[in-house]
């Protein structure tokens, strides 16, 4: 596995964890702002946040330290091309995801409905996480899911 | 000018025309009278006429030996996509902040407005994409030098 593949795999796992964390914490955060409150909510959110960021730091340290070979270069033309193609796929997926999220909103609140302003950044954050997943999967697919030397 | 540059100039013009059209439509929604409607109709016809430009623009070749697309063109396009991709996130970030200043932190936004806002973002992205291509070609000097 070369550096780009390691990076893609690392981001894929971490963004998956972040999505799970976000879904899990929606309920807890809603409880924090509710009238009765939820005494342990903040502790649970912080525990998950430390767990994810700890995992991120540890996996990055272990992944990037080990080189494929002594002569391994940081990035070459092919890597650049693969990344740029992945950006193109990701760019298209952002628009598809945005349109899909509006379709879901229309379905939930109706055409004449409205949503709280604070939901808007959360929608964009969700789209960002999903787009990053698409980016990393595209990079890994182009390398053939990480065979030896990134070849298939 | 090669094919990619001609395309970028055309897209730039189209994006500007559509942005102005959007502004006209938006103002027509809040003002009464036939002037705004007539202006919107005129602008719509102008856009339709402009759409026929590529027939003449793309037909004329730079030289007999001009190739349709080469590696450098691909690289330039991919860099432009990267610039557009970054600007999408910047614009989405801005559009998630501005409404909270207009209607307040506890306000709400009609769902019907969201695709309209994103269509505006899409037009700005078209502008960014075209400008990024033209900048990389040096705004279309002879033989792109």
The ipTM value here is 0.72
Average pLDDT over residues B16-40: 79
Where in the sequence is the domain holding A123, given as residue range(s)? 3-150
Q: For chain A, how many structural domains are there in total?
A: 1
Helix, strand, coil shares of chain B, percent, nearest 5, are 75, 0, 20
Query: Of A81, A102, A112, which is closest to B114 when you measure between CB atoms?
Result: A102
Across the 152 residues of chain A, what is the mean pLDDT of every consecutive 10-residue run? 77 80 69 60 72 76 68 75 88 91 87 84 87 90 67 46
Residue A74's pLDDT is what? 67
Are A28 and A45 in contact, with CB atoms under 8 Å apart?
A: yes
Give the max Cα distance, chain B: 63
Is residue B3 pLDDT above 80, yes or no?
Answer: no
CA distance A22 to A25: 5
Q: Say yes or no for a CB contact (<8 Å) between B108 and A94.
A: no
Are B47 and B21 in contact, with CB atoms under 8 Å apart?
A: yes
Is residue B145 pLDDT above 50, yes or no?
Answer: no
Helix, strand, coil shares of chain A, percent, nearest 5, are 75, 0, 20
Residue A152's pLDDT is what? 44
Contacts of A112 in chain B (CB under 8 A): 110, 112
Question: Is the C-alpha dihedral spanning B133, B134, B138, B142 positive or negative?
Answer: positive
Contacts of B16 (CB under 8 A, 6+ apart): B127
Query: Of B81, B95, B115, which is closest to A91 when you measure between CB atoms?
Result: B81
Question: B83-126 pLDDT, tens per residue?
Answer: 999 999 999 989 888 888 888 878 888 888 888 888 889 989 99
Residues pairing with B109 in the sheet: A115
Are B48 and B92 in contact, with CB atoms under 8 Å apart?
A: no
* Burial class of A121 by CB neighbour count within 10 A (0 to 12, 13 to 18, 19+): middle
Strand B108-110 with A114-116, pairing = antiparallel
Q: Say yes or no for a CB contact (<8 Å) between A117 and B122.
A: no
Contacts of B70 (CB under 8 A, 6+ apart): none
Q: What is the CA radius of gyration of chain A?
A: 19
Position with higher pLDDT, B142 vs A92:
A92
Q: Which residue of A has its CA nearest to B87?
A: A91
Question: Is the C-alpha dihedral spanning B35, B113, B96, A97 positive or negative?
Answer: negative
Position with higher pLDDT, A43 vs B133:
B133
Phi/psi at B110 (5° precision): -65, 140
Q: Say yes or no for a CB contact (<8 Å) between B105 and A117.
A: yes
Question: B30-64 pLDDT, tens per residue?
Answer: 776 677 777 878 888 888 888 887 777 666 666 66
């Amino acid at each position: 596995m070369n550096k780009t593949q390691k990076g893609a795999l690392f981001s894929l796992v971490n963004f998956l964890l972040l999505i799970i964390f976000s879904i899990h914490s929606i309920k807890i955060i809603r409880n924090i702002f509710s009238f009765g409150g939820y005494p342990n909510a903040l502790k649970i959110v912080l525990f998950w946040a430390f767990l994810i960021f700890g995992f991120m730091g540890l996996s990055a340290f272990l992944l990037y330290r080990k080189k494929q070979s002594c002569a391994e270069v940081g990035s070459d033309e092919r890597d650049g091309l693969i990344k740029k193609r992945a950006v193109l796929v990701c760019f298209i997926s952002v628009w598809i995801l945005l349109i899909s999220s509006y379709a879901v909103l229309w379905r939930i609140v109706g055409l004449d409905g409205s949503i709280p302003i604070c939901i808007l950044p959360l929608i964009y954050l969700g789209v960002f996480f999903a787009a990053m997943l698409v980016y990393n999967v595209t990079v890994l697919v182009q390398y053939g899911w990480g065979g030896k030397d990134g070849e298939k | 000018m090669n094919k990619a540059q001609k395309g970028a100039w055309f897209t730039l013009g189209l994006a500007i025309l559509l942005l102005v059209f959007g502004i006209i439509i938006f103002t027509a929604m809040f003002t009464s009278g036939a002037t705004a409607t007539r202006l919107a109709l005129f602008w719509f016809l102008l856009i339709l006429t402009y759409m026929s430009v590529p027939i003449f623009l793309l037909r004329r070749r730079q030289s007999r030996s001009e190739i349709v697309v080469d590696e450098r063109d691909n690289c330039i396009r991919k860099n432009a996509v990267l610039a557009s991709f970054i600007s999408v996130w910047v614009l989405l970030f801005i559009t998630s902040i501005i409404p909270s200043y207009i209607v307040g932190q506890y306000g709400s936004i009609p769902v019907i407005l969201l695709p309209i806002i994103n269509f505006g973002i899409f037009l700005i992205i078209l502008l960014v994409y075209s400008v990024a291509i033209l900048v990389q070609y040096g705004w279309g000097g002879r033989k792109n030098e």
